[in-house]
């Protein structure tokens, strides 16, 4: 089965050994994604804006893999403060109101950058073409 690696251009992809997304067959996994541009945090102190930026990055990765947010079947959300749940959930609900993927949300002790408040990973399944 073929393996498509999707890069976001992060300087860490090669040194750490990961891809923004990987597609094998009709399955796509998008790595944990934070609100960063060029490796630098964006939307400092704003979990809602960070969540929006994250979904923009995830959407691009899915499109590069031949998919879209409408194909997402699971989201995993990591928060450094569970108090940010409402802000994140507002955006998650807007993005996935009709799709309603399985979701796990966890509070973690921190990320590589202390400026990141939210990290999200998703899995998607691309519908097989009808014959």
Domain limits, the chain: 3-125
* pLDDT greater than 80 at residue 129: no
Tokens for 112, please give them.
């590589």
Confidence of residue 131 (pLDDT cuts 50, 70, 90): very low
In this structure, whether the domain defined by 3-125 belongs to CATH 3.30.1330.40 is answered with: yes
Confidence of residue 41 (pLDDT cuts 50, 70, 90): confident
Report which of 4, 122, 7 is spatially closest to residue 70, judged by C-alpha positions. Answer: 122
Global pTM value:
0.93
Q: Determine the average pLDDT of the residues in 13-23.
A: 93
The pLDDT score that the predictor gives to residue 1 is 75
The pLDDT score that the predictor gives to residue 9 is 84
What is the CB neighbour count within 10 angstroms for residue 41? 19
């Amino acid at each position: 089965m073929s393996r498509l690696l999707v890069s976001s251009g992060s300087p860490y992809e090669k040194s750490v050994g990961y891809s923004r997304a990987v597609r094998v067959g009709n399955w796509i996994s998008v790595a944990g994604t934070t609100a960063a541009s060029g490796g630098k945090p964006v939307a400092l102190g704003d979990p809602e804006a960070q969540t929006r930026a994250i979904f923009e990055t995830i959407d691009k990765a899915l499109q590069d893999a031949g998919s879209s947010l409408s194909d997402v079947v699971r989201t995993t959300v990591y928060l450094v403060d569970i108090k940010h749940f409402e802000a994140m959930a507002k955006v998650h609900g807007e993005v996935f109101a009709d799709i309603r993927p399985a979701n796990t949300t966890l509070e973690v002790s921190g990320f590589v950058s202390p400026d990141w408040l939210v990290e999200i990973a998703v899995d998607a399944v691309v519908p097989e073409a009808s014959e």
